[in-house]
Amino acid sequence: MSGFADYEPETDRRALGAEVQTRPAKEADLDACARLIVARTGGSVDGRRRRLLGDLQDPRRYSAVACVSDEVVGYGGVIWHEATSADPPTTAPTGYYLVGLIVSPAWRRHGIGELLTIERMRWTAERADTIHYFANLANGPTLDLHARLGFTELTRDFTFPGNPLKPGTGVLLRAALTKDH
């Protein structure tokens, strides 16, 4: 089992019957976001919530949520990464990075990941002209999504602090941004 949602690229399940809204995360959303993350990656809900609270307080980070009614059904973040001269030459370049896209299993394959990614790109476009993303090469849905949104491959030979991908299993992507993202 890969840990990724089933990949069915020919299936269009966007007819939700419910309105999905994306918006900046608020402190009141953090428990739900932490539970989504921990369900996918493990760890402590309290620990993850503390990190998410730190993200809300950092002007170079952004957390977005997708909601159906008042229920948080998806989360995604943006972080600023600063490469230094002490880093290995394969270190990912300085810039903003999309991180942590997670959608509740019951709501996957309804376009929520795309809505969250567009929202995070919009936020970043107000601050930069490019955005980066790295992914597991086995995660076809996310690679297809990001390709549709203009991401192109930079390299497969890269390092990133805290990146859980094993060498040779990931790809680093970049997209140009415009103010209308």
pLDDT computed for residue 166 by the predictor: 84
pLDDT computed for residue 16 by the predictor: 52
pLDDT computed for residue 25 by the predictor: 97
pLDDT computed for residue 1 by the predictor: 35
User: From CA 5, how far away is CA 13, in angstroms rounded?
Assistant: 13
Per-residue pLDDT tens digits of the chain, which is 181 residues long: 345 455 454 444 444 567 899 999 999 999 999 999 999 889 999 999 999 999 999 999 999 999 999 899 999 999 999 999 999 999 999 999 999 999 999 998 889 999 999 999 999 999 999 999 999 999 998 999 999 999 999 999 998 988 878 888 999 999 999 876 5
pLDDT computed for residue 2 by the predictor: 44
User: From CA 129, how far away is CA 121, in angstroms rounded?
Assistant: 10
pTM of the predicted protein model: 0.87
Whether 169 contacts 131, CB under 8 Å: no
pLDDT computed for residue 181 by the predictor: 58
Whether 75 contacts 51, CB under 8 Å: no
Tell me how long the chain is: 181
Burial of 1 (0-12, 13-18, 19+ CB in 10 A): exposed
